Amino acid sequence: MNIPVHVGIIMDGNGRWARKRGLPRVEGHREGAKVTEEIVIAASKLGIKYLSLYAFSTENWKRPKEEVNFLFHLMYEYVKNKLSLFLDNNVRFRAMGRLWELPDYLQEGFKEIEEKTLHCDGMVAVFAVNYGGRQEILDAVNRAIKAGEKEITEEILRKYLYIPELPNLDLLIRTSGELRISNFLIWHSAYTELWFTKTLWPDFTEEEFKKAIEDFKKRERRFGGIK
């Protein structure tokens, strides 16, 4: 099997990583951001076309306000300070989710880096922020109805997803040992291959990422048919 076109990652375990070391949870998020940089570069070099990263779910608002605010400021620092990471690797940045509910400064930060990497024609790095898979489908249905669609087919619904051109997910990686997909890319995951690791996200490495890709290449995907 060839290399996956679209890889998604649920970057889980930052809080547990920090707790094991007697550190505040925010330090786990800070370390996790460093790993994100490494994996974006690694995925780009492997020839992956789309890398979707679950950065903040619609359910994450339930976390302490201080932690949520830290995460938003960390994301803002990331997009303001890491532009060269994307430009040097010819990676286009996209943000996906209910972005209009985020703080204005973060919306502006996302818009700026999207515009500055618009010309990049290598990998597309999709950061899912304030994202929920079910919510994306509901939002798409409501937009389709508002647009006057009389009958909603798969093709029509896809037109109203947050990023209509985002292809189906080939491989979903989840760190930290949890065995669930947590409402991530529900529409895109009908036939995705799953790969789980007990490694916490701040300890995840390029080598382990490559291991997941190699495992995917050995699998036989039938999509409901017979080979």
Give pLDDT, residue 17: 98
Q: Is 226 within the bounds of a domain?
A: no
Give pLDDT, residue 220: 80
Is the CB of residue 200 less than 8 Å from the CB of residue 161?
no
Q: Is 126 within the bounds of a domain?
A: yes
DSSP-assigned beta bridge partners for residue 96: 128
Say whether 206 counts as a known binding-site residue.
no
Q: What value does the mean pLDDT take over residues 143-149?
A: 97
Q: Is 157 within the bounds of a domain?
A: no
Total structural domains within the chain: 1
Query: pLDDT (tens digit, 9 = 90+) per residue, 31-75?
Result: 999 999 999 999 999 999 999 999 999 999 999 999 999 999 999
Give pLDDT, residue 59: 96
Structural tokens at position 51: 């890398």
Q: Is 145 within the bounds of a domain?
A: no
Q: What value does the mean pLDDT take over residues 94-110?
A: 98
Give pLDDT, residue 227: 60
Query: pLDDT (tens digit, 9 = 90+) per residue, 125-137?
Result: 999 999 999 999 9
Q: What value does the mean pLDDT take over residues 169-176?
A: 98
> Using CA atoms in the order 29, 58, 77, 32, what is the torsion angle rounded to 10 degrees?
20
Interior angle at CA 19, CA 58 and CA 29, nearest 5 = 45
Amino acid at 178: E
Say whether 180 counts as a known binding-site residue.
yes
C-beta neighbour count of 148 within 10 angstroms: 6
SS3 217: helix
Q: Is 178 within the bounds of a domain?
A: yes
Give pLDDT, residue 223: 61
Structural tokens at position 58: 């619609």
Structural domain containing residue 207:
6-131+168-218
Is the CB of residue 122 less than 8 Å from the CB of residue 92?
yes
Q: Is 95 within the bounds of a domain?
A: yes
CA distances from 100 to 13, 18, 130, 170 (A): 27, 31, 9, 28
Nearest-CA neighbor of 175 among 200, 145, 157? 200
* CATH label of the domain that carries residue 202: 3.40.1180.10
C-beta neighbour count of 25 within 10 angstroms: 19
Q: Which residues are catalytic?
A: 12, 60
Say whether 221 counts as a known binding-site residue.
no
Say whether 69 counts as a known binding-site residue.
no
Q: What is the mean pLDDT of the chain?
A: 96
Q: Is 112 within the bounds of a domain?
A: yes
Is the CB of residue 1 less than 8 Å from the CB of residue 47?
no
pLDDT > 70: what percent of the chain?
Answer: 96
pLDDT > 90: what percent of the chain?
Answer: 95
Nearest-CA neighbor of 147 among 155, 134, 156? 156
Alpha helices, H only, 12-167 = 14-20, 25-46, 65-81, 83-88, 104-116, 133-146, 154-159
**pTM attached to this predicted model:** 0.95
Q: Is 210 within the bounds of a domain?
A: yes
What backbone torsions phi and psi does residue 4 show, to the nearest 5 degrees?
Answer: -65, 145
Q: What value does the mean pLDDT take over residues 80-90?
A: 96
